[in-house]
């Protein structure tokens, strides 16, 4: 659908645009640079509101671990500025480049928060929602408001930062975000253990996650996953820190796990490449068909895959991140009903499944996000109306009809 695109140049323009859309009850599809329209449910709106032109870092104090940037600032700019002070976005947001084909760094900082995007270090370091300290935004009434602050520890008022993270632009249009940044590790290396099946790899990752050697990320790729490890099942344990620390932790872990399988150490460059590719779901992103991203308790990851295989669902590939608690799943296209069985198994185990890639028709009909029990869905609908009573902001993006 061709849409009018509004790209306000400042926050006042942004507020005026939303207010006028509300006056005419003409909904807006809220986006940054629009690279991820194919994610989530399709928005039912005649016009697009882009924050791409609200750009620029407005505050960066490395010693305070804090940065403020306007919504449309690109991740490329954020990352480069942080790198100049040896810092980084520790939650390492997925950009969906391998899934959707846009360039790395082209997505915006506000989108990273609006999608609650995070990466492989999520279990250790938190998601986007754990790093947003405060924000400025325009709600569906066209009012500009702020929440939170710029300090690390703040319990003044409701923590609306958590709500806007993962709200996909449906509660408010972020105009500026203030977030926690972290020192970049001096070095990073990865222990690769080869030849384990899913169950054994799950056990290894869970054991490693309880050791004082402080593993920074844990993933498992079954044999056949795309990338450098396609020939053999590979379990990856990432170690960040000063070289002396990484070396000693690595030695301890290798001694502990060497009996389980052949081990190889990935040096800094290979390690970074591997984890960036994992973050972007590279090992299955290029498979045809539907792609699911499923969060469960770590021990339930391998159980889910086993259950789906037992149901003879046509799996086209899968891998595990987050100690086994994040399952990326590819299913062969056009092979009968899939969402039902996937969600039924996820419900049985406890967790949630997001349909990351499917045709627009499917995304418009099926639930993309995991359906909620009725009282929770009703509560979520009331929260939506508390920000956007007239349904102006990205209607339909998360839930059909809301």
Partner 1 sequence: MSLTMPLPEPEIMAARDDIVARLQAILKPSSVIHLARELSPYECDALTMYRQTPLVVVLPETVEEVAAVMRLAAELNVKVVPRGSGTSLSGGSLPLADGILLGMSKFNRILDVDFENRCARVQPGVTNLAITKAVEHRGFYYAPDPSSQIACSIGGNIAENAGGVHCLKYGLTTNNVLGVEMVLIGGEIVRLGGRHLDSEGYDLLGLVTGSEGLLGVITEVTVRILQKPETARGVLLGFSSVKAGADCVAAIIAAGIIPGGMEMMDKPAIDAAEAFKPCGYPEDAQGLVIVELDGTAAEVDHLCGEVAKIAEAAGATSIRTSNSDAERIGFWFGRKNAFPAVGAIGPDYLCMDGTIPRGRLAEVLTGMGALAAEHGLRVANVFHAGDGNLHPLILYDAAIPGDIEKAEAFGADILRLCVAVGGVLTGEHGVGVEKRDLMGEMFDSVDLGQQERVKCAFDENHRLNPGKVFPTLHRCAEMGFMHVRSGDLPFPEIPRF
Q: For partner 1, which is the closer residue by CB, 66 or 316?
A: 66
The CB-of-80 to partner 1 minimum distance in angstroms stands at 18
Q: Which is nearer to partner 1, 85 or 232 (CB)?
A: 85
Smallest distance, Å, CB 282 to partner 1? 21
Question: How many other CB atoms are found less than 10 A from the CB of residue 105?
Answer: 14
> Cβ of residue 171: shortest distance to partner 1, in angstroms?
8
232 vs 349 by CB, closer to partner 1:
349
**Min dist. Cβ of residue 84 to partner 1 (A):** 13
Residue 296 beta carbon to partner 1: minimum distance, rounded to whole angstroms: 5
CB 134 within 8 A of CB 152: no
Backbone angles phi, psi at 190, to 5 degrees: -135, 135
**Residue 144 Cβ vs partner 1, minimum distance, rounded to whole Å:** 7
156 vs 312, beta carbon nearer partner 1: 156
Pairing of strands 57-61, 66-70: antiparallel
State the minimum distance, in angstroms, from the CB of residue 156 to partner 1: 5
Nearest to partner 1 of 38, 182 (CB atom): 182
Q: What is the DSSP string of 309-369?
A: HHTT--EEEEEEEGGGTEEEEEE-TT-S--HHHHHHHHHHHSEEEEEEE--HHHHHHS-SS
| Closer Cβ to partner 1, 202 or 282, answer by number | 202
Smallest distance, Å, CB 86 to partner 1? 6
Segment (H or E) for 4: strand 4-6
Closer of 63 and 259 to partner 1 (Cβ): 63
Compute the distance between CA of residue 127 and CA of residue 346 in angstroms, rounded to an integer: 21
CA atoms in the 13 A half-sphere facing the CB of 340: 4
- Give the Cβ contact number of residue 132 at 10 Å: 25
Question: Alpha helices, DSSP H only, in 101-143?
Answer: 109-114, 122-125
Q: Please state, as a whole number, how many other Cβ atoms lie within 10 Å of the Cβ of residue 253.
A: 19
Measured from the CB atom, the residue of 151 and 335 that comes closer to partner 1 is 151
| Under 8 Å between Cβ of 368 and 302 | no
- Greatest extent of the chain over all pairs of C-alpha atoms, in Å: 68
8 A C-beta contact, residue 369 and residue 1: no
Q: Which residue in 402, 239, 370 sits closest to 292, CA to CA?
A: 370
């Amino acid at each position: 659908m061709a849409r009018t695109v509004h790209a306000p140049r400042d926050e006042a323009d942004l507020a005026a645009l939303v207010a006028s859309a509300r006056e005419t009850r003409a909904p807006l599809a809220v986006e940054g640079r629009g690279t991820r329209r194919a994610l989530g449910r399709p928005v039912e709106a005649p016009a697009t509101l882009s924050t791409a032109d609200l750009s620029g870092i407005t505050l960066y104090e490395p010693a305070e671990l804090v940065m403020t940037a306007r919504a449309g600032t690109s991740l490329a700019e954020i990352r480069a500025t942080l790198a100049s002070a040896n810092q980084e976005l520790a939650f390492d947001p997925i950009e969906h480049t391998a899934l959707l084909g846009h360039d790395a760094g082209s997505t915006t900082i506000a989108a990273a928060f609006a999608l609650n995007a995070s990466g492989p270090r999520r279990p250790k370091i938190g998601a986007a929602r754990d790093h947003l300290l405060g924000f400025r935004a325009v709600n569906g009434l066209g009012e500009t408001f702020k929440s939170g602050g710029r300090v690390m520890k703040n319990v003044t008022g409701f923590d609306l930062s958590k709500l806007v993270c993962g709200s996909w632009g449906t509660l408010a249009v972020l105009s500026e975000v203030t977030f926690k940044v972290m020192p970049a590790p001096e070095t990073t290396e990865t222990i690769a253990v080869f030849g384990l099946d899913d169950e054994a790899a799950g056990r290894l990752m869970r054991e490693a996650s309880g050791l004082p050697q402080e593993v920074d990320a844990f993933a498992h790729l079954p044999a056949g996953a795309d990338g450098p490890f396609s020939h053999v099942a590979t379990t990856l344990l990432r170690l960040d820190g000063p070289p002396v620390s990484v070396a000693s932790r690595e030695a301890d872990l290798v001694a502990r796990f060497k009996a389980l399988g052949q081990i190889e150490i990935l040096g800094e460059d290979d390690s970074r490449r591997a984890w960036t590719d994992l973050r972007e779901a590279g090992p299955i992103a290029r498979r045809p068909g539907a792609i699911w991203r499923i969060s469960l308790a770590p021990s339930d990851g391998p159980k889910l895959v086993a259950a789906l295989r037992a149901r003879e669902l046509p799996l086209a590939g899968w891998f595990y991140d987050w100690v086994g608690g994040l399952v990326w799943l590819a299913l062969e296209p056009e092979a009968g009903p899939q969402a039902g069985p996937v969600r039924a198994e996820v419900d049985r185990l406890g967790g949630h499944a997001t349909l990351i890639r499917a045709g627009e028709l499917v995304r418009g009909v099926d639930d993309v996000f995991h359906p909620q029990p009725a009282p929770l869905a009703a509560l979520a609908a009331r929260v939506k109306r508390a920000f956007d009573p007239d349904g102006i902001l990205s209607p339909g993006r998360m839930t059909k009809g809301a």
